[in-house]
């Protein structure tokens, strides 16, 4: 069972439908007990960092997410779900993130280019990740974001994309993996990433 965390901020149903097309058993729930009992967990997110963290706090989900990360069970962050894994964001200074990974989320610096970074862009691998198994370097995925994660430990970055310089596209360590782009909007490449997560047996 894959549990997609429902806290009022995320592309829940498009992610759910994509996984179900792949044959996954999926539950969408905001109950901490459902998160803790699931075999795998997905943390989606769209909108502002502070709003998303505020909703996680209101739903009482922060301890369950941290416990899942510490448990060894696969946890996948998508878009703002990646950013919230870090300690904080320039988007909402003073709002603490989940703190699962050390580092901050910062505004993309891309002089002469539009922010947000929106549309299709290619990936460059930095570290091996279960999510990218079977995908060629240079695979294209769909982004919509103005901020990106800057980990204290650069080895957490598993993929980058170029947008006025290297922009963090994916991070991961052990059972916790995350992507800044939207796999559910990224065609066959995105489906392969979700399939890899579905089939992952750490």
pLDDT, tens digit, for every residue of 23-78?
A: 999 999 999 999 999 999 999 988 899 999 999 999 999 999 999 999 999 999 99
Query: What's the CA gap between 49 and 59, in Å, rounded?
Result: 16
Q: How far is CA 2 from CA 6, 21, 127, 131, 188, in A?
A: 12, 13, 25, 15, 20
**Active-site residue list:** 79, 182, 184
pLDDT, one tens digit per residue, over 141-190 is 999 999 999 999 999 999 999 999 999 999 999 999 999 999 999 999 99
Q: Which residue has the tokens 């962050």?
A: 77
Query: What's the CA gap between 62 and 68, in Å, rounded?
Result: 10
Instruction: Provide the whole-model pTM.
Output: 0.96
Pair of tokens at residue 66? 């941290």
Pair of tokens at residue 54? 């505020």
Q: Which residue has the tokens 């703190």?
A: 99
């Amino acid at each position: 069972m894959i549990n997609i965390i429902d806290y009022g901020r995320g592309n829940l149903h498009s992610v759910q439908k994509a996984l179900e097309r792949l044959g996954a058993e999926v539950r969408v729930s905001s109950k901490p007990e459902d998160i803790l009992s699931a075999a795998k967990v997905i943390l989606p997110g769209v909108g502002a960092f502070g709003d998303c963290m505020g909703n996680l706090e209101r739903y009482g989900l922060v301890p369950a997410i941290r416990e899942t990360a510490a448990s060894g069970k696969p946890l996948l962050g998508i878009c703002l779900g990646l950013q919230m894994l870090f300690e904080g964001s320039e988007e909402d200074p003073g709002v603490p993130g989940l703190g699962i990974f050390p580092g901050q989320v910062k505004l993309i610096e891309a002089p002469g280019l539009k922010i947000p970074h929106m549309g299709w862009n290619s990936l460059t691998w930095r570290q091996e990740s279960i999510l990218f198994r079977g995908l060629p370097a240079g695979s294209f995925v769909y982004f919509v974001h103005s901020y990106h994660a800057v980990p204290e430990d650069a080895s957490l970055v598993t993929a980058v994309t170029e947008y006025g310089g290297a922009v963090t596209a994916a991070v991961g360590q052990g059972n916790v993996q995350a992507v800044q782009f939207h796999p559910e909007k990224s065609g066959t490449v995105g489906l392969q990433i979700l399939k890899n997560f579905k089939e992952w047996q750490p």
